[in-house]
Amino acid sequence: MRILVTGGAGFIGSAVARIAIADGHDVMVVDKLTYAGNLSTMKDMSDDPRFSFVRGNICDPAAVESAMKGHDVVVHFAAESHVDRSIAGSDDFILTNCFGTNVIVDTARCLDVQRVLHIGTDEVYGSVEVGSSLETDPLEPRSPYSASKAGSDLIALSYYSTHKTPVVVTRCTNNFGPYQYPEKAIPLFVTNLMNSGKIPLYGDGLNERDWLFVGDHCTGIQLVLENGTLGEIYNIGAGNETPNRVLVDKILEIMGKDESSVQYVEDRKGHDRRYSVNIDKITKLGWKRKRSLDEALLETVKWYQDNRWWWEPLKKAK
């Protein structure tokens, strides 16, 4: 199979590309190489004959058409994805996440691509005080980032409704693992501690997130890509909603640090209190997580400890 991965120089996209190559597929990554997409993230794949890379912007229809020709499947990750950056300035989020997604699915329609898997986020459901979000629940995004992702989901799905373009959407919870850009929570906390810094903890530290190890997310993506029903949405979560304060304590314990390494900071504007998704639908496809939160955290911390070569230049460049 010939797979095009947009945003494949980023965290989750590169993980999917690795797995696809290991499974014998030909993979092309197209990435603009913004601050969050780096050639170093693809270093281990660069010499594989089944891998190719094109630097391109998903908002450029001609570049997208050139890259997509000849591919069977598109896995669409490319997006602006950091909430704090969207609060500071939202233009790039609307352009990339909405217009860029329209370019991707419209090009796939014109080229008769066999399947487009659009990667979404649980943040589109908004803050969930009780219970867990179903794929059919109303969308209540509360940041420019999540609003742009909600828009991108609807754009992608509209192509299935209107043109029968073979689109499937997944919505994942908070990912973590190797190669995650060090502005995100877990790699930020770990690398700060490695540099004798502090963990910045928003507000009272009781906001809850469902932390999903990237390897487990990738198996869910693969399953939906192969067996998901066209025009449908699949939530992917680990089912371990954890207050940020508890997550921080776990990291402190792994790294042999204490409370003096925690610094409470002013809460984020519009900070959603809790995310939680119902995963019955993807579970029925046969998916289940392989790692507990504690196991995956230990593996992730060790990776950052062993791979300063990758994250230190990125952290210095911020």
Q: Active site includes 123?
A: yes
Task: Give the separation between CA 100 and CA 58, rounded to whole angstroms.
Answer: 5
Task: Give the separation between CA 96 and CA 157, rounded to whole angstroms.
Answer: 17
Q: Is residue 283 part of a domain?
A: no
For position 271, what pLDDT does the model report?
A: 85
- Phi/psi class of residue 70: alpha, beta or left (left: φ > 0; alpha: ψ in -120 to 50)? left
Question: Which has more pLDDT, 85 or 254?
Answer: 254
Assess whether 70 and 101 both reside in one domain. yes
The H-assigned helical ranges of the chain are 11-22, 61-68, 83-88, 91-94, 101-111, 144-163, 185-194, 214-227, 244-255, 280-283, 293-306, 308-317
For position 264, what pLDDT does the model report?
A: 95
pLDDT, tens only, 205-253: 999 999 999 999 999 999 999 999 999 999 999 998 999 999 999 999 9
User: Average per-residue pLDDT in the chain?
Assistant: 95
Q: Which of 26, 31, 80, 122 is flagged as catalytic? A: 122
Question: Which has more pLDDT, 201 or 85?
Answer: 201
Confidence of residue 81 (pLDDT cuts 50, 70, 90): confident
**Span 88-103, mean pLDDT?**
93
Phi, psi of 277 (to 5 degrees): -120, 145
pLDDT, tens only, 20-73: 999 999 999 999 998 888 999 999 999 999 999 999 999 999 999 999 999 999
Handedness of CA 59, 53, 152, 71 (dihedral sign): positive
* 114 and 73 Cβ atoms separated by less than 8 Å: yes
Name the domain count of the chain: 2
Q: Is residue 196 part of a domain?
A: yes
Q: Active site includes 145?
A: yes
CATH no. for residue 309? 3.90.25.10
C-alpha angle with apex 29: 27 to 305, nearest 5 degrees?
Answer: 100
pLDDT, tens only, 110-149: 999 999 999 999 999 999 989 999 999 999 998 899 999 9
Q: Is residue 19 part of a domain?
A: yes
Choice among 8-17, 76-85, 126-135, 179-188 with the minimum mean pLDDT: 76-85
Structural domain harbouring 192: 182-209+242-272+292-317
**Span 304-317, mean pLDDT?**
94
Q: Which of 26, 31, 123, 210 is flagged as catalytic? A: 123
Q: Active site includes 210?
A: no
CATH no. for residue 230? 3.40.50.720
Q: Which of 145, 160, 181, 304 is flagged as catalytic? A: 145
Assess whether 137 and 224 both reside in one domain. yes
For position 318, what pLDDT does the model report?
A: 62
Q: Is residue 130 part of a domain?
A: yes
